[in-house]
Every structure is written in structure tokens, then in C-alpha cells.
Amino acid sequence: MNVSASLKPYNSPTPQSLPMILDTLPDPAIEGQGCPRKTRLQIDLILLAIEALELGGSEAILTFAQELDLKGVIKDRVNLWRMRSTNPMRRAHIRRPLSITEAKALVVIACYIARRLTVVIRQMLMIYQQMNDKQIPLEQNLRLSNYLERFRAHFKSRMNTRRSGLLALSSDEKLDDLAINLLGQLLFCTGTAGMQRFWISLFDGEVE
């Protein structure tokens, strides 16, 4: 990935101002200071799943930024939107890099929210498995149906579905599969060293 080191994110914090919690995530061995395309997409999708899972999810992201002393990185709603709009699949894509520091902050927050929702996530995955095994329509479970419906709505309103990379997600069934897969990734984040393992997977391979 070739990203010019001269490109700087808006309002990039100085090294001296970085919270210690970000040191728990290793710096990836990548060229330049910006995150790869896949990393930007995956982080945005994980946050999208959180927003679909919990009403007020975007507010929770900003709240955790405050609680985890990450306001120096994620200052406000506009700043958060700019970071997430580095996802090239977004309708409102912004051509700016997502710095490693910004990516770390978003991953830390996503993992902390996932930990708080561990029971809910685990229950939903169990319900999905049971219904899938018995070939029962997923809409018959209210909690699962609401999550999938919100995820589809968020995805369709924010992503440019005409991009070649998203053509495979043109049906509700495929979007439901993605939403369930993201639940699995969120549960993965709650496990032992889950945050570190998820972070590394964003650069080295898909989460299994």
C-alpha cells in the first residue's frame, strides 16, 4: 500500500498527547502513516454493526472516547464522521488517510462497547444458529430481526452500493450474512486478548 507519509489527518494529535491505552495495540508494519483500504472498510463496518445493535450507538462511541481519554483523537461528531468517511465504499467518501492512531482509537472503542454488549451478542448468535439449523425465518425473532433491519438500512443509506466492491452485497440475504458475520467479529473482540488479535487481523487477514 503506497500512502505518502506527507499526508496528515486533520487535527492529528502529537505523540506526547496520545493516551497509554493505544500502546496496547502494536504498530503494524505497513508503508506510510495511513491505514490500508481493507482496514478502513472493516473498522467502519464494525462500527456500523454496533450502531445497528444498539440504539444510540454513535453517541456511545463519543461517550467512550471521553471515558477512555481519547477525546484528543476523536474530538467530536464531525471528527468521527471524517474518520469513518475514509472508508472508500461510503457515499460520502473523503480522500484523506486514516492514521494508525485514529484507527487504534476506533478499534479500542469498538472493543470496549463489544465487551459491554457481550451477553447480547452471544445470545443473538445462539438464536441465529438455532433458527438457521431449524430453517426458521430470522424475522420471527424480534431482537435479531430488528438488528438485521437496522443494519441493512444503515448500510444502504451510507454505502455506495454501485461500487464494484459492494455488488456482491446487493441482496438483503447477503447483507444479513454480513451483519451476522460482524456479530461474530464483535464477539471475537471480547475474548482473551481479543482487542489485540482483532487489530492484528485488520492488517494480516480476516477474523475467523
What is the value of pTM for the model shown?
0.85
Q: For residue 38, is it within any domain?
A: yes
Segment 143-198, tens digit of pLDDT? 999 999 999 999 999 988 777 666 667 788 899 999 999 999 999 999 889 999 99
Q: For residue 150, is it within any domain?
A: yes
pLDDT at 51 over 70: yes
Q: For residue 83, is it within any domain?
A: yes
Distance CA 185, CA 99 (A): 22
Distance CA 60, CA 47 (A): 11
Q: For residue 125, is it within any domain?
A: yes
Q: For residue 205, is it within any domain?
A: no
Domain that holds residue 91: 34-200
Q: For residue 12, is it within any domain?
A: no
Q: For residue 172, is it within any domain?
A: yes
pLDDT at 5 over 80: no
pLDDT at 92 over 70: yes
Q: For residue 70, is it within any domain?
A: yes
Nearest to 109 by CA among 70, 150, 56, 151: 70
Give the rounded distance of the alpha carbon of 33 from its chain centre. 20
Q: How many domains are there within the chain?
A: 1
Distance CA 141, CA 152 (A): 16
Give residue 7's pLDDT band: very low, low, confident or very high (50, 70, 90).
very low
Q: What is the structure's pLDDT at 4? A: 34
Q: What is the structure's pLDDT at 3? A: 36
